[in-house]
Amino acid sequence: METVVVAVRTLVEEFTRYSRQDLWEEFMAAEIYDRGIGIGLPEEYGFSAWDPVRGREALSDLIKRSVAVLANQSDYSQYTIKFATHCDEHFHPPKSSTTTNLDGGASLCFEGLSVAE
């Protein structure tokens, strides 16, 4: 069953990557941010020195996207608006480029959000 789930997830990700570039970029930025604060790393892997740097860049991208989505809500799905609202309420640009704690370590990937409402 796990093989089927992985196969379906891969198909959906690849379809989204090419059909909805904006959602793909949002998804990738959320995953990069999570990795930047250590979420989703397998136990046997270490934390890269570049992970926090890339995480800060991804956070900046997500904040910009949130502003754009909330400014034009009629152009986006309810899920995207909910995600943007969550980002707007919980995340702010890092204070400096040397900050390693990315806003308390809360995960962006699907935290408190559901695709079906």
Domain-embedded: residue 9: no
8 within domain boundaries: no
- The confidence score (pLDDT) of residue 51 equals 86
Q: What pLDDT is attached to residue 28?
A: 92
Say how far apart CA 32 and CA 71 lie, in whole Å: 24
CB atoms within 10 A of CB 71: 9
pLDDT by position in tens, the chain (length 117) = 889 999 999 999 899 899 988 888 998 999 999 888 888 887 777 778 888 889 889 999 999 999 999 999 999 989 899 999 999 998 876 555 444 444 444 544 434 333 333
36 found inside a domain: yes
52 lies in some domain: yes
Report how many domains make up the chain. Answer: 1
User: How many whole angstroms separate alpha carbon 69 and alpha carbon 47?
Assistant: 32
| Predicted confidence (pLDDT) per residue in 67-100, tens digit | 999 999 999 989 899 999 999 998 876 555 444 4
Residue 7 is assigned to a structural domain of this protein: no
First to last CA, the chain: 25
